[in-house]
Structure 1
Amino acid sequence: MKKNRILATALAATSVLGLSACVTDPNTGEQKISRTAIGSILGGTAGYLLGDVIGGSTARIIGAGIGGSAGAVIGKQFDDQIKELDEMTEGTGVDVTEIGDGEAILVNLPDGVTFAVDSSTITPAFQGTLDVIANSLIKYPNSLIDVYGFTDSTGSDSYNLSLSQRRAIAVADYLAARGVARARMATQGYGEDPRYFKASNDTPEGRAQNRRVEIKITPISEQDVAQAQGG
């Protein structure tokens, strides 16, 4: 499984916490950092990942008509989806990772191949990769999808915020055009918010990591649906 910088940072930081901060994956036997441990280490830095979905889940679950899945089904579907996404995007530059303790899947879309410089138009060469992601979202419909946009620190704050928002919307609109229910998706641009930089902006390589769009896929359970409906 590919690893992103957020989880790598968490692993390094939690090494001082010992095994009490770890949980064991029942499928692989692999130890990983629990959601609680990651949250205590990263705090606000990963808040947009470990927190609730954009705008809260209640209205979005009802609006999207999501049915939810039983707990055991969620675990199986989560494992299948992340494995399939990881395999199908191999070699494209896309990074697929697990967020928290099976809470969500994060799909990181690299700036250099997703968009041209200073553009919110998806490059034709990358559309096939987004088609694969769209097919996965259609295959596993019981989830909410957040699309986040980020930039580096080059340029003005207001321009970068607008660019990040337009890029997030462009990805969501593309997925919707391929059949993903738009009601499942919400977008948020963070611009050059320093809390969410993945690397230093002092180097071209670091700035490239900071320019990105991320798709967060949050599974919805039958219990989540019942709560949203007031049951």
Structure 2
Amino acid sequence: MFTLSRLMVVATAVALLAGCASPNPYSNQDQAGGDSGGMSKTAKYGGLGALAGAVAGAAIDHNNRGKGALIGAAVVGAGAAGYGYYADKQEAALRKSMANTGVEVQRQGDQIKLIMPGNITFATDSSGIAPSFYSPLNSLAGSLKQFNQNIIEIVGYTDSTGARQHNMDLSQQRAQSVATYLTSQGVDPSHLAVQGLGPDSPIASNADVNGRAQNRRVEVNLKPIPGQQYQQQ
């Protein structure tokens, strides 16, 4: 009979197998600004997913909790590891293509975020794409066509200067400009979502020039598609 402690041991073992079943070519890279604990993101996603799956599996199969835990761990862990491996590869490709462009690439859990600062994106009070922005957008479009299994959220932001409604409209128009250009370069429009948040969610103080410049930005958030089966490539 499986006790809770034994279920945890089984889940952990399956988690490690789910996370390490296939070699991850990026496991030795610090891809998320300090995430260097010796375990790849694939193993982390697979491990956490397998542990959650084990608990769920044990709860479902009351007559044979050990069997339920193993099935739940294997199924959920493998799915999570599949996305972790996919995201690892996508993140590495984006970091390479965005190097020296002014675009910052961040990894936040299962999400990849690209922060595009105002000094390269749009002229003041304009939603027309600046000449310096075309090169990063072309690189992004190429990457999104290669790694095409994401929801792509494009969010525009402004600083707090001026009327709020004007800033909300301007940020929406800028996000739409990015989406329209990416679509023109062959990115699947069905994966795109656009939003303008104006001065909301600032990343720096609006009390000084440098802070306001940081807040004028476009963010592109790459997320997994719900229900998508991510195969290791």
Cα displacement (A) at 1:225? 4.2
Q: Which has the higher contact order (CA 8 A, sep 6+)?
A: 1
Q: Which stretch of structure 1 is more off in the superposition, 161-170 or 79-88?
A: 79-88
Instruction: Pick the aligned partner of 1:91 from 91, 96, 100.
Output: 100
Tell me, in whole angstroms, the C-alpha distance in 1 between the residues paired with 2:197 and 2:207: 19
- Hey, what does 1:110 align to over in structure 2? 117
Tell me, in whole angstroms, the C-alpha distance in 2 between the residues paired with 1:25 and 1:106: 23
- Hey, what does 1:26 align to over in structure 2? 39
Does the CA-based 8 Å contact 1:2-1:95 persist in structure 2?
no
Cα displacement (A) at 1:164? 0.3
**Superposition map of 1:28-43 within 5 A:** none
Q: Is there any run of 5+ residues in structure 1 with no aligned partner, and where?
A: 4-10, 12-21, 32-68, 227-231
Cα displacement (A) at 1:73? 3.0
- Hey, what does 1:120 align to over in structure 2? 127
Cα displacement (A) at 1:220? 2.5
Instruction: Give the TM-score, by structure 2 length.
Output: 0.65
Residue 209 (1) aligns with residue 214 (2): yes
Per-residue Cα deviation, 1:154-175 (whole angstroms, up to 9, x for no partner):
1100100000000000001111
**Superposition map of 1:160-175 within 5 A:** 160-175=167-182
Residue 198 (1) aligns with residue 203 (2): yes
Residue aligned with 1:209, SS: helix
Does the CA-based 8 Å contact 2:32-2:107 persist in structure 1?
no
Letter of the structure 2 residue corresponding to residue 116 of structure 1: A
Tell me, in whole angstroms, the C-alpha distance in 1 between the residues paired with 2:38 and 2:117: 28
Does the CA-based 8 Å contact 1:85-1:96 persist in structure 2?
yes
Aligned length: 166
Cα displacement (A) at 1:124? 2.1
- Hey, what does 2:68 align to over in structure 1? none
Does the CA-based 8 Å contact 2:123-2:130 persist in structure 1?
yes
- Hey, what does 2:56 align to over in structure 1? none
Q: Name the Cα RMSD after superposition.
A: 2.8
Q: Is there any run of 5+ residues in structure 2 with no aligned partner, and where?
A: 1-30, 45-77
Residue 149 (1) aligns with residue 156 (2): yes
Does the CA-based 8 Å contact 1:147-1:215 persist in structure 2?
yes
Tell me, in whole angstroms, the C-alpha distance in 2 between the residues paired with 1:94 and 1:135: 15
State which structure, 1 or 2, has the greater radius of gyration over its C-alpha atoms. 2
Cα displacement (A) at 1:23? 10
Letter of the structure 2 residue corresponding to residue 149 of structure 1: G
Tell me, in whole angstroms, the C-alpha distance in 2 between the residues paired with 1:86 and 1:117: 28
Residue aligned with 1:170, SS: helix
Residue aligned with 2:91, SS: helix
Cα displacement (A) at 1:125? 2.4
- The percentage of aligned residue pairs carrying the same residue is 38
Cα displacement (A) at 1:26? 1.9
Instruction: Give the TM-score, by structure 1 length.
Output: 0.65
